[in-house]
């Protein structure tokens, strides 16, 4: 690769690293072409971009970005997964693929400027997806007003039952 191409790749990668939700470094040593293609396809469905870049170019491109905190981890053959969508879905896809293929080794990740290790990524992958969490939140938000309406109508219902019993008692005595 000539110098201009390297500069162009580093500049392009620097722009891509400016707005990610989670970025994961993974070792891919020992993976064949079919496995890499399957990984790229699975990640593409989860709105994740997988890049294999030289470490020196990645180090240069990561300057002044959130990925800069991982510069000590950039060693050996690495693939960089960049997610701009749902972090949990991206993590689930990577962890799931790594469990099926031992050649893919998750090294570290950055999310919100914080470094995450492989154990923390496993915990993140166990969380329910965004849609499930939003559904649970919606059910809680709808449940509270419904309960309030039931409680408030219970007072009126009880009062009406007392009046009905009183009326029936009056009618039976007459």
Q: What is the pLDDT of residues 70-84, one digit of tens each?
A: 888 888 899 999 998
Q: Which helix (H) or strand (E) holds 86?
A: none
Mean predicted confidence (pLDDT) in 18-46: 90
Collapsed DSSP state (helix, strand, coil) of residue 39: helix
Sorting pLDDT into bands at 50, 70 and 90, what band is 62? confident
Give the model's pLDDT for residue 143: 79
Dist CA 67 CA 54 (whole Å): 15
Tokens of 50: 């997988």
Mean predicted confidence (pLDDT) in 13-34: 89
Domain parsing of the chain, residue ranges: 3-127, 129-174
The DSSP-derived string for 4-32 is HHHHHHHHHHHHHTTS-SEEEEEE-TT--
Cβ atoms 74, 59 nearer than 8 A:
yes
Give the model's pLDDT for residue 95: 92
Tokens of 45: 């469905």
Cβ atoms 102, 29 nearer than 8 A:
no
**1 pLDDT more than 80:** no
CATH superfamily of 3-127: Ribosomal protein L10, N-terminal RNA-binding domain (3.30.70.1730)
103 DSSP 8-state letter: T
Give the model's pLDDT for residue 33: 92
Dist CA 141 CA 148 (whole Å): 12
Which range, of 10-19, 41-50, 95-104, averages the lowest pLDDT? 10-19
Q: Which helix (H) or strand (E) holds 52?
A: strand 48-52
Q: How does the average pLDDT of the chain come out, rounded? A: 87
Share of the chain above pLDDT 70, in %: 99
């Amino acid at each position: 690769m000539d110098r201009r191409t390297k500069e162009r790749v580093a500049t392009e990668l620097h722009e891509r690293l400016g707005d990610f939700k989670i970025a994961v470094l993974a070792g891919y040593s020992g993976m064949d072409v079919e496995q890499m293609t399957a990984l790229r396809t699975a990640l593409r469905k989860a709105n994740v971009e997988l890049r294999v870049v030289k470490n020196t170019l990645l180090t240069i491109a990561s300057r002044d970005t959130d990925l800069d905190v991982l510069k000590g981890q950039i060693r050996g053959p690495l693939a960089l997964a960049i997610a701009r969508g749902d972090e949990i879905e991206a993590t689930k896809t990577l962890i799931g693929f790594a469990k099926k293929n031992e050649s893919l080794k998750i090294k570290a990740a950055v999310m919100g400027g914080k470094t995450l290790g492989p154990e923390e990524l496993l915990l993140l992958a166990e969380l329910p997806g965004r849609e499930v969490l939003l559904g649970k939140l919606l059910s809680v938000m709808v449940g509270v007003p419904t309960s309030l309406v039931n409680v408030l109508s219970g007072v009126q219902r009880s009062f009406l039952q007392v009046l009905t019993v009183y009326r029936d008692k009056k009618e039976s005595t007459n």
